[in-house]
Amino acid sequence: MNISTQIEVLPGIQAEEIDRSRLPLSQAYTLPPSAYTSDEVYEREIDRIMRRSWLPLARVDQLPKPGDYLSFDVFDQPLLVVHGQDGQIRTLSRVCLHRAAPIVDGGGNRKLFTCPYHAWSYDTTGQLIRAPMMEEAAGFTEKNCRLPQIKTEIWNGFIMINLDKDAQPFAPQVAGFERYFENIDLSQMVVARTMEFDSDWNWKVLVENFMEAYHHIATHSGTLEPIFHAQDSQVPDNDGPWSILHMPTAAGEEVSPDLFANVIFPHFLIAFHGETLTWYQVFPRSSGKLLLKIHICLPRKAMEEATFEETAQAACELTQTIHMEDIEANDLVWKGLQAPFTTQGRLAPLEKSIWQLNQWWLDKMLVEDGSAEARS
């Protein structure tokens, strides 16, 4: 790719800066600060990445019964994910077909969704069932009205969505990732606890912090580093939009299983530790704000054990302790990224996963709009 012709496509970012991020890992630099702080870059991310990537919306175990639903706002699109009376899980635009009021908020169980504005009612497939006093509207019939359906794929119990109606299927893109974890059955996991955090950082600050173990030596020196030495962490080569950080258990700590912190780009964050799956669900809200939901997931069979609540609580507390340490680190990074004298930093060889993300990010952000590579 001829970088010099692409200079103007990333606002506030110079060609030399891109070149430095593109170098092989042993010579590479971070993305430039504007990649995190610029509103224009964020707008482009929404267009080139967020509205074209597969994003995790919920788990099927959060919608076990027909009629169960949850609402989300994903990049200005109000969504409803619903377990239909026909057994199928669908993601629908939850914007009313009349005058655009969202028809529902939150979660629960319903057979019908009735818009709070003029009481148009939709069934669990998004079909309009009843529109009061519309008899004299010429040519209008309810049966021709259906809420737009969003591309949805169930992957290992995750309800994945893509706002691009022409997106390529998700599973083949992460086949290499799945092969790495053949012995872990993610589909049998259930959400046991959820914690929510509003944070004032760019979404990539959170993602990068999640995907490298180098910071264990300082940020987590008393918690993770004694068990998962930064120095021992490994990142295999990838062949798709994903990165795996393998943190082997330190010698003498064999009671603890290895820890894996995995990212499916752009921001599907899942950590595996023994029988616990920790899912960081990220909702970027602006260039400098995000909502984070941390879901602690355990195997369904563990629910029958008397110790389930205790196990869930312990996993929750441990994750919270680690996350509080990460919040401090991310606050520091976010402060520094906004300073006028801040420049690109040199990546550490242990930060291969960040380098992998950066290459993917640059591919997506620099590609000509409308080209085949823009799709995922």
Q: Find which of Fe ion, ligand FES, none residue 74 binds, CB within 5 to 8 Å per kind.
A: none
Q: Find which of Fe ion, ligand FES, none residue 326 binds, CB within 5 to 8 Å per kind.
A: Fe ion
- The piece of 108-116, 188-196, 268-276, 318-326 that touches Fe ion (CB under 5 A) is 318-326
Interacting positions 117-156 with ligand FES (CB under 6 A): 117-120
Least spacing, CB of residue 140 vs ligand FES, in Å: 13
Residue-wise DSSP of 159-186: EEEES-TTPPPSGGGGHHHHHHTTT--G
Q: Find which of ligand FES, Fe ion, none residue 101 binds, CB within 5 to 8 Å per kind.
A: ligand FES
Is there a contact between 101 and 78 (Cβ–Cβ < 8 Å)?
Answer: no
Going residue by residue from 157 to 186, which x/- string records binding to ligand FES, judged by CB under 6 A? ------------------------------
- The piece of 11-19, 87-95, 245-253, 322-330 that touches Fe ion (CB under 5 A) is 322-330
- Antiparallel, parallel or unpaired: β 128-130 and 121-123: antiparallel
Return d(Cα 133, Cα 265) in angstroms, integer: 47
- CA-nearest of 42, 99, 92, 87 to 63 is 87
The three-class DSSP label of residue 375 is coil
Q: Given the complex with Fe ion, which of 154 and 327 has the nearer CB atom?
A: 327
The secondary structure of residue 14, as a DSSP letter, is -
Q: Given the complex with ligand FES, which of 119 and 171 has the nearer CB atom?
A: 119
Count the site residues for ligand FES by CB under 6 A: 9
Interacting positions 104-123 with ligand FES (CB under 6 A): 115, 117-120
Per CB under 6 A, the list member of 9, 25, 101, 154 interacting with ligand FES is: 101
Per CB under 6 A, the list member of 41, 70, 81, 96 interacting with ligand FES is: 96
Q: Given the complex with Fe ion, which of 269 and 337 has the nearer CB atom?
A: 269
Return d(Cα 290, Cα 202) in angstroms, integer: 7
Q: Is 225 in the site for Fe ion (CB under 5 A)?
A: no
Residue 112: which H helix or E strand, with range? strand 112-114
Say which residues have a Cβ less than 8 Å from residue 30's Cβ, sequence separation at least 6. Answer: 21, 344, 345, 346, 347, 354, 358
Amino acid symbol at 106: G
Which residue carries 């990142």 as its tokens?
235
Q: Mutual orientation of helices 203-210 and 352-366 as an angle, nearest 10°? A: 140
Q: Given the complex with ligand FES, which of 118 and 375 has the nearer CB atom?
A: 118
Per CB under 6 A, the list member of 23, 85, 99, 338 interacting with ligand FES is: 99
Binding region for Fe ion (CB under 5 A): 326
